[in-house]
Structure 1
Amino acid sequence: MRSMTGVSGLVLALTMMAGTPMAQAKDAPLDAMTPDKVASYDWVRPEADYVRQEVMIPMRDGVKLHTFIVYRKGVTDAPIILSRTPYDADASTSRNRSQKIEELLPIVDTPFVNDGYIRVYQDVRGLHGSEGDYVMTRPLRGPLNPTAVDHSTDAYDTIDWLVKNLKNSNGKVGITGSSYLGFTSLMALIDPHPALKAAIPQSPMVDGWMGDDWFHNGAFRAFGYNYVLGQTVKKGGKGGLPTGKEDEYDTYLAAGSAGDLARKWGVDQLPGVRKMLEHPAYDQFWQEQALDKLLAKRPLTVPTMLVVGEWDQEDSWGTPAVYRALSADPAKRANVSIVVGPWRHSGVNYEGSSLGNLKFEGDTALQWRLNYMKPFFDCHLKTNPAPCHTPRVITYATGTNRWEEADDLSPSTTPLYLGGHGEASFDKPVGEGVESYVSDPAKPVPSVPRPVSLGGDEWKTWLVQDQRFTDGRTDVLSFKTGVLSAPVHIRGAPKVDLRAATSGKDSDYVVKLIDVYPGQNTANPVMAGYELGVGIEIFRGRYVHGYATPAPLVPGKTYAFQWLLPTVDHVFLPGHRIMVQVQSSLFPVYDRNPQSWVPSIMDAKAEDYVKATETIHWGGKDASAVWLPVVK
């Protein structure tokens, strides 16, 4: 194990360059042709208040993983927090190259390293300084992975090395991280090392088809190509598709299908892209990787706090899916809890007083880190800790802006019915009828006001975008309640039950649950009349028969399309209205449905994209509704 503190790396590098003029005494004058390039520079100075160690930890197959260990000087009996990342462990432990530990590490680490914790970041195999082959989401060893190693074994071997070699630790390890790091945190729970005592997976990638990064209920997110480029291409992959600064609505529309887009920009042969294109349905490739299913089959011996943002624009599915899978088993229920905060994807690790135009009561992310994350790790990782008290459900109620604790999420038991003339009501409509619109793939409904950019701040906040930009379009139906006289509080995942028919042979359906603010708001004018998306999600019609068995829809036949909206805690306040919008595209976040039948939408041709009339039923035996998890 090599320490990067102590002797100056610059002096060491200079004095060891034998065979060059630099082998002479360091104070001797240099001539003009003395080579200027040196081997290294140790930017961690002797006055640093921390130790930063860089090591290569051996795995069971001989591959060594690049790892950085950081702790405040003088700590003993220290718990360890581990994160396994594809985003460069070196960069994660060298913020500003500061000589102060709280400035060196991400802000989420400050309370821990200031309280005697050891912080460890590791590059996953095949990336940055780690040896081995990189598989973007390496499956668990088994049907899809015939090797003896995966993220579970790598976590085990890493923890084993840490507790045996860090003599200033107390031998207890926690694991955490967001997104990909949430995925590796969950993988560590499969056959865990005995020293792993607690886990906080944040916004983990759990099921890339059902509702995390790549697909949502079968609808494809072609901008994922940008991620694959950045993660898997050694040279030329940074920055995503080379589309310039065009409106991405135009760029994606002109390309055609998702397959055409990949071919146009030359990414169709990247393994990560090919795997998506070759598996458009929920086949074994996706099912065998779904972590909620894998975890459900195993004991849960490690206390686990699952975290997600209410407006997570990337991995909204995973946290609730794992919570449902684990809490359904009484033997595992005591070891799992869930947190839903008012954040974007990974927003829990940053400043959390606002999101887009929404303002909260203080820094909600810091509040969670101090009031829940730190106590959770303390009670499981410290030597002789205070007893643990972890609420099963910890949520932030947007609308009233307060933290809440509960025994469970509320079941979806209260239907909000769609009705005629654009009405929505908690009372089932008298009579029955239909509302229709024409969906034209040549003019898909944009996901945000144009011009569209799927990167930067717009991407982080698109789910809280004011939805008035689509309200009133002829291809969007809006159903709205009267003005509320009492608050309506929901906590959980609303369930869509949409009874619909199409004149085509396939169709997408998008449902948005919206909080409509009063038209006048002198206290906060920017929110006057605002239409806030509380939950937005899509369903690809061909999978109404089963996610693994796509089939054509019968034109004119009414189907029950049912799916979940993201898990939330939200209060619709008196004076507000509740709106449900229905449409058949959300572009370019999701690829277009051609609305004719093609075996794979990935390869749809221009002539396959046709207009279709979409008919939404209300009342009677085919009453469309959104079932709300109302808190009683």
Structure 2
Amino acid sequence: MHKHLTRPTLATLSLILASAPIAAAPPATLAPMTPDGVASYDQVRPEADFIRRVAMVPMRDGVKLYTVIVFKKGTSGGPILLSRTPYDAKGTTARTASQSIVDILPIMDKEFVNDGYIRVYQDIRGLHNSEGEFVMNRPIAGPLNPTGIDESTDAHDTIEWLVKNIPEANGKVGVIGSSYLGFTTLSAEINPHPALKAAVPESPMVDGWIGDDWFHNGAFRTFSLGFAVSQSTGKAEGSGLALGSGDDYTRYLEGGSMADYARKLGIDHYPFVQKLFQNPAYTEFWSGQAVDKWMAAHPFTVPTMIEVGQWDQEDSYGGPAVYKALAPKYEGTGLLHLVIGPWRHSGANHYGYDLGALTFTGDTAAEWRTRWVKPFFDHYLKGAPDPRIPPVLTYATGVNRWNESPRWPMGTPTPLFLRDGNGASFDKPAAPGHDDYVSDPAKPVPFIPRPINVADPDQWRTWLVRDQRFVSDRPDVLSYTTAPLTSAVHIMGAPEVDLFAATSGTDSDWVVKLIDVYPNEAPEAATQGSKPDMSGFELPIGIEIFRGRYVHSFAKPEPLKPGKVEHYRWALPNVDHVFLPGHRIMIQVQSSLFPLYDRNPQTYVDNIFYAKPGDYHRATQTIWWGGENASAVMLPIVR
């Protein structure tokens, strides 16, 4: 039996026509000479899974800072995760032209935005799209900054605006960021806004003279000039130094002193370049900008997880320095945490499967972010259960495992002595002796194999794990090596150099390396796959330099007396490492690390930046061991 078809009524036809798509009117016919330019294209299409807003956030002095707010559609009651950056908030939040939020943001944001976090990036004042004047690592308000405006106040004012103007937010804010962003993260914790509930400063710039970006124990890091130019030109829209191709070793050697080199490049007039050149010693100019001192001088109230890479090639000093400054009062309180992972600079925010020739147990960086960072913020910003983050979390390289510790350092300082026959042992030589080498500023020791191109990420990011056999046979490098270990040696802390040395000159640099020497037939080689054969590999565990003129005072340099034995003490980077049985421990000593650091003329001049060609001279360097001048490296050994 067939159903009867009824004729549609006028009302039904009206509904059908109303719901049907309306054909777009055909575009007007254009002439060949119609201009083809279009003002803009909105790359965020209606189907995007996110909302992206831009605001000019006012500060207390009227300056407005460019701020990008990104979150997933449907977010409600979400916590705010803030990063204040000199590296372009606009570009950071539009990394690819995609309609997926995890594509447009850095990889470290994935877990957060997928769980309802509101991600905020802001250009610091004076850079990119923000108003105001840029000052590199702007000093905190005080003796060096009478304006009353600093990164602390800007963070406070930003958070005040965010919690009042993002209706999708829950009113709680966390801050995070690496390198310069680590500096702004720490700054936000000084006189913090009440809504700031947690912070994760990663590889923070803390003290640019002692051991972060500009100097290390007085020796100048030459590549600071390129960074200064890139950040100071056109609101950081410049591209840095136009050096072209070629070997940086040759380029810097031919450039002469740093002042001569800067003049040749036409950058000697840059204010920050002049600040560097005018302040070679650790005077109040630098000590007054040390963030660890700022943190220690203010109440510490924000739960903080400090992170640093064990092989951080830029800012290995700052994070542990802040922890050390705060630990006497806050270690064990639950407010202060330290993390040391097997990473390069900012490597915690990328992929952590490997570093150079080293391979780890999976993606250690993603593991840290998901297992510890995300639960840390969830607890303080979302009310999630306490994840019981350990006071100290470190990754033991050599055995590839995470360690949880109640404090840092964990090891007991134990001297590994230099001795006769280029040996090293835990037994102090009774009889004194010495070894000599000639350091020539015309032939400085390269810090990586030539040709050197620091613009190459593969060279720069991995130089701290580069096989040191490329310099072991140089006559101006001394190597002291233990016998093969019969049992594992586990160190947790910062090895400390205890060097007795003399020079025939009136100034000198001293470079000490702590190295894990693999057996010449390493079983590790069988599992490396595409990695280099590790047989005989000389893996640096720590490398650090000391400028001799500062042996008695960082603030008041003085000439060295030719032939006089001086006692030099300084620290290598903080590590958690296991020297395995069958491996050997090596200590290398040399007097240059070029062109990473500027050349010491080895003749005392008031300001090395302005050294003249005639100031550079060869010098005989003497390393003492045994007796009263028993040179050693103090290893923080866990027993």
1:378-393 matched pairs, under 5 angstroms: 378-382=378-382, 384-393=383-392
Paired letter, 2:178? S
Paired letter, 1:499? F
More deviation in 520-529 or 230-239? Answer: 230-239
Give the CA deviation at 1:145: 1.4
Task: Give yes or no for contact 1:412–1:495 (8 Å, CA) kept in 2.
Answer: no
Residue 481 of structure 1 corresponds to which residue in structure 2? 482
Residue 458 of structure 1 corresponds to which residue in structure 2? 459
Task: Give yes or no for contact 1:208–1:286 (8 Å, CA) kept in 2.
Answer: yes
> Is the alpha carbon distance of 1:423 and 1:511 closer, same or farther for their aligned partners in structure 2, counting shifts above 3 Å?
same
Query: Following the alignment from structure 2 to structure 1, what is the Cα–Cα distance between the partners of residues 518 and 560?
Result: 37
How many aligned residue pairs are there?
A: 607
Give the CA deviation at 1:28: 3.3
Aligned with 2:395: secondary structure?
strand
Paired letter, 2:345? H
Paired letter, 2:606? P
Residue 511 of structure 2 corresponds to which residue in structure 1? 510
Q: Kindly, what percent of the aligned residue pairs are identical?
A: 60
More deviation in 611-620 or 528-537? Answer: 611-620
1:163-178 matched pairs, under 5 angstroms: 163-178=163-178
Give the CA deviation at 1:77: 1.3
1:117-128 matched pairs, under 5 angstroms: 117-128=117-128
Paired letter, 1:546? S
Task: Give yes or no for contact 2:126–2:235 (8 Å, CA) kept in 1.
Answer: no
Paired letter, 2:219? A
Query: Following the alignment from structure 2 to structure 1, what is the Cα–Cα distance between the partners of residues 174 and 145?
Result: 26
Residue-by-residue CA offset, 1:134-177 (whole Å, 9 max, x unaligned)? 11211111122121211100100000011111111111100001
Residue 445 of structure 1 corresponds to which residue in structure 2? 445
More deviation in 231-240 or 166-175? Answer: 231-240
Give the CA deviation at 1:236: 11
Residue 533 of structure 1 corresponds to which residue in structure 2? 540
Residue 590 of structure 1 corresponds to which residue in structure 2? 597
Give the CA deviation at 1:557: 1.1
Aligned with 1:209: secondary structure?
coil
Aligned with 1:208: secondary structure?
coil
More deviation in 328-337 or 598-607? Answer: 328-337
RMSD: 1.5
Task: Give yes or no for contact 1:300–1:332 (8 Å, CA) kept in 2.
Answer: no
Residue 579 of structure 1 corresponds to which residue in structure 2? 586
Query: Following the alignment from structure 1 to structure 2, what is the Cα–Cα distance between the partners of residues 78 and 426?
Result: 56
Residue 348 of structure 1 corresponds to which residue in structure 2? 348
Paired letter, 2:503? T
User: Is 1:405 aligned to 2:404, yes or no?
Assistant: yes
1:178-577 matched pairs, under 5 angstroms: 178-234=178-234, 238-330=238-330, 334-382=334-382, 384-409=383-408, 410-456=410-456, 457-521=458-522, 522-523=525-526, 524=528, 526-577=533-584
Query: Following the alignment from structure 2 to structure 1, what is the Cα–Cα distance between the partners of residues 333 and 611?
Result: 45
Task: Give yes or no for contact 1:226–1:239 (8 Å, CA) kept in 2.
Answer: no
Give TM-score scaled by structure 1 length. 0.94
Aligned with 2:577: secondary structure?
strand
Paired letter, 1:385? A
Aligned with 2:407: secondary structure?
coil
Residue 8 of structure 1 corresponds to which residue in structure 2? none
More deviation in 443-452 or 517-526? Answer: 517-526
Residue-by-residue CA offset, 1:517-567 (whole Å, 9 max, x unaligned)? 010134146111000000000000000111101001111111110000001
> Is the alpha carbon distance of 1:619 and 1:144 closer, same or farther for their aligned partners in structure 2, counting shifts above 3 Å?
same
Task: Give yes or no for contact 2:257–2:611 (8 Å, CA) kept in 1.
Answer: yes
Task: Give yes or no for contact 1:229–1:237 (8 Å, CA) kept in 2.
Answer: no
Query: Following the alignment from structure 1 to structure 2, what is the Cα–Cα distance between the partners of residues 239 and 221?
Result: 19
Paired letter, 2:510? Y
Q: 2:635 aligns with which of 624, 628, 632?
A: 628
Larger Rg: 2
Task: Give yes or no for contact 2:82–2:120 (8 Å, CA) kept in 1.
Answer: yes
Query: Following the alignment from structure 1 to structure 2, what is the Cα–Cα distance between the partners of residues 571 and 282?
Result: 35
Query: Following the alignment from structure 1 to structure 2, what is the Cα–Cα distance between the partners of residues 149 and 475?
Result: 49
Aligned with 1:67: secondary structure?
strand
Query: Following the alignment from structure 1 to structure 2, what is the Cα–Cα distance between the partners of residues 345 and 545?
Result: 31
Paired letter, 2:53? Q
Residue 21 of structure 1 corresponds to which residue in structure 2? none
Task: Give yes or no for contact 1:412–1:493 (8 Å, CA) kept in 2.
Answer: no
Residue 19 of structure 1 corresponds to which residue in structure 2? none
Aligned with 1:630: secondary structure?
strand
Uncovered stretches (5+) of structure 2, i.e. residues with no partner: 1-24
Paired letter, 2:508? S
Query: Following the alignment from structure 2 to structure 1, what is the Cα–Cα distance between the partners of residues 37 and 169?
Result: 39
Give the CA deviation at 1:40: 2.5
Give the CA deviation at 1:592: 0.6
Give the CA deviation at 1:436: 1.1
Uncovered stretches (5+) of structure 1, i.e. residues with no partner: 1-24
User: Is 1:618 aligned to 2:619, yes or no?
Assistant: no
Query: Following the alignment from structure 1 to structure 2, what is the Cα–Cα distance between the partners of residues 235 and 292?
Result: 28
Residue 142 of structure 1 corresponds to which residue in structure 2? 142
Aligned with 1:581: secondary structure?
strand
Residue-by-residue CA offset, 1:173-202 (whole Å, 9 max, x unaligned)? 000011011010010011000000000000
Paired letter, 1:531? E
Task: Give yes or no for contact 1:248–1:453 (8 Å, CA) kept in 2.
Answer: yes
Q: 1:600 aligns with which of 595, 607, 629?
A: 607
